[in-house]
Structure 1
Amino acid sequence: LEVNVDKETNTLIRQGVESVINPFDLYALEEALRLKERYGGTVSVLSMGPPQVVDTLREALSLGADNAVLLSDIDFAGADTLATSYALARGVKKIGSFDLIICGRQAVDGDTAHVGPSLAERLGVPHVSCVTKICELTDGYMIVERMTDRGIEQIKLSLAALITVGKGINEPRYPS
């Protein structure tokens, strides 16, 4: 794989490069689909990126998401995590009310793990990062677990909320 950078804008040249769903986001999508199967509800997928990201959104729909929204603008090129969380928060607010947002722990191309927590802050909702298990989900709150260097933490948080997940929470399904 050859990576090219536009010398004028200092952004990646993505033309001709196949877009794939961020692996951590696949775990988030799978967990959302499992919650939908168990409790009902709607799974909406929101992404920010260039137009070719629409293919990854189609994949999310084929896996079972109910709807998908792409935020795409040339001004988003090279956005840092703060700008990304700002755009995503605007997108979430435009979509409407929600009970739970599940984000992949981090993007493999940035590796910062800042977008999920920053998005929660912008939306004014509680968040827990690196969730490994959703233990309970009821009207008004949820209980989650995450692994820390001291062992397993169990955390209760009120809804609406945001969690980030990664490998280990589930095994993502394949498109049908």
Structure 2
Amino acid sequence: MKLLVPVKRVIDFNVKPRVKADGSGVDLANVKMSMNPFDEIAVEEAIRLKEKDVATEIVAVSIGPAKAQETLRTALAMGADRAILIQTDAEVEPLAVAKLLKKVADEEQPGLVVMGKQAIDDDSNQTGQMLAALLGWAQGTFASKVEVEGDHVSVTREVDGGLETVKLKLPAIVTTDLRLNEPRYASLPNIMKAKSKPLAQKRPEDYGVDIAPRLATVKVTEPAKRQAGVKVGSVDELIAKIKETGVIA
């Protein structure tokens, strides 16, 4: 079975984003970029499935600028077999990403698509669900455990009330949550090997997909600074303080 793993290049999770002076977006100049953490988990899960002889090939795919090759090389160094970069400098919205991934899935015919549940830059949490709808495949979102059994995959997913397990007929879409696994570090020998692994370069036009934005960013602002806390001597004083600040009437 072939696995398709989409990955995204985002601001490193350790970096504090800065908003542009004109409020038009986040400043990406001279900022450390890395693979989206949820996508790292997806790559790790795909590798583990291959190590269990469930999968025979892992194909990583990314949609973004030329520098996204670095993100794909990281996936290859972790253990993916080959990669596809759909190169564009435009900001691609989740629906356009899903349409492009559908075209890739139509070509590659994977048995399972394993992808992060969301990207930490826009937090949309939409692409996996949209891709499942476009392909007409079953989906298991927010996965904390994945087990492939024959032509089905069992996905334990995190829901508000606890855990829910769903059994999906393959091919299917699985989106990964934080507690699914701990991604491995790429070793130096594997980083060197990744340089010789195949990385195909495409453009959105090659797939006939219109990636023109359908949404407009009106303004980006930093969150309000948190006020310092205060100590109170009793419950009555706490209630009075809460009323004073207008939290409750």
Q: Which runs of 5+ in 2 are unaligned?
A: 1-15, 188-249
Q: Which residue pairs with 1:156 in the alignment?
A: 167
Contact 2:115/2:128 (8 A) holds in 1: yes
* RMSD (CA atoms): 2.1
Instruction: Give the deviation of 1:93 after TM superposition.
Output: 2.2
- Spell out the pairing of 1:46-65 with structure 2 (5 A cutoff): 46-65=61-80
**CA 1:152/1:2 → structure 2, altered by over 3 Å: closer, same or farther?**
closer
Q: Which residue pairs with 1:34 in the alignment?
A: 48
Q: Which residue pairs with 1:85 in the alignment?
A: 98
Match 2:176 to one of 165, 168, 175: 165
Contact 2:101/2:131 (8 A) holds in 1: yes
Match 2:125 to one of 113, 129, 133: 113
User: Equivalent residue of 1:129, what SS?
Assistant: strand
Q: Which runs of 5+ in 1 are unaligned?
A: none
* TM-score (ref. length: structure 2): 0.63
Identity of aligned residues (%): 35
CA distance in 2, matches of 1:54, 1:4: 26
Instruction: Give the deviation of 1:62 after TM superposition.
Output: 0.6
Contact 1:48/1:88 (8 A) holds in 2: no
Q: Give the letter for the 1:172 counterpart.
A: P
Instruction: Give the deviation of 1:19 after TM superposition.
Output: 2.9
Q: Which residue pairs with 2:238 in the alignment?
A: none
- Higher mean alpha-carbon deviation, 12-21 vs 147-156, is at 12-21
Instruction: Give the deviation of 1:89 after TM superposition.
Output: 1.6
**CA 1:172/1:23 → structure 2, altered by over 3 Å: closer, same or farther?**
same
CA distance in 2, matches of 1:149, 1:13: 34
Count residues with an aligned counterpart: 170
Instruction: Give the deviation of 1:169 after TM superposition.
Output: 0.4
Q: Give the letter for the 1:149 counterpart.
A: D
Q: Give the letter for the 1:28 counterpart.
A: A
Contact 1:11/1:78 (8 A) holds in 2: no
- Higher mean alpha-carbon deviation, 149-158 vs 23-32, is at 149-158
Match 2:139 to one of 127, 132, 145: 127
Contact 1:146/1:152 (8 A) holds in 2: yes
Contact 1:140/1:159 (8 A) holds in 2: yes
User: Equivalent residue of 2:175, what SS?
Assistant: strand
Q: Give the letter for the 1:47 counterpart.
A: S
**CA 1:28/1:91 → structure 2, altered by over 3 Å: closer, same or farther?**
same
Contact 1:49/1:71 (8 A) holds in 2: yes
**CA 1:80/1:52 → structure 2, altered by over 3 Å: closer, same or farther?**
same
Instruction: Give the deviation of 1:2 after TM superposition.
Output: 6.5
Q: Give the letter for the 1:82 counterpart.
A: L
Contact 1:28/1:164 (8 A) holds in 2: yes
Q: Give the letter for the 1:31 counterpart.
A: E
- Higher mean alpha-carbon deviation, 77-86 vs 112-121, is at 77-86
**CA 1:150/1:13 → structure 2, altered by over 3 Å: closer, same or farther?**
closer
Q: Give the letter for the 1:25 counterpart.
A: D
- Spell out the pairing of 1:9-28 with structure 2 (5 A cutoff): 14=28, 16-28=30-42
Instruction: Give the deviation of 1:121 after TM superposition.
Output: 1.3
